[in-house]
Amino acid sequence: MGEISYSTYLIHNLVIAATILFIIQYNLFAFEIWMVPLSAIVLTYLLAFFMYRYIEQPGIKVGRGLARRFIRQSIHGASPVSADER
């Protein structure tokens, strides 16, 4: 669960707000009250998992690749400008 904690942090307020709006719009106040927080929690973690898997992990991979490239260029004294452009 620690891996998706940032995604959970980002999405939880949106899910809570959407759940409240859904309840108000469809007049579900008589709905089993325990189902509301339960559904919000389940939806939050599902969305957080997908955000982590399909947004955060690929972003981390791209960032690591860019960092390696930048470090390699600075170690070897290479300029980001190619020899043809000089």
Q: Which amino acid is at 17?
A: A
Instruction: Give the chain's length.
Output: 86
d(CA 19, CA 28): 11
Q: Do residues 39 and 19 lie in contact, with contact meaning Cβ atoms separated by under 8 Å? A: yes
36 vs 83, more confident: 36
pLDDT, tens digit (0-9, with 9 covering 90-100), for 36-74:
788 899 999 999 999 999 999 999 999 999 999 888 888
Residues contacting 6, CB < 8 A, separation 6+: 52, 56
Task: Read off the DSSP letter of residue 52.
Answer: I
Contacts 24+ apart (CB under 8 A), 20-28: none
pLDDT, tens digit (0-9, with 9 covering 90-100), for 3-33:
899 999 999 999 989 988 888 887 777 666 7
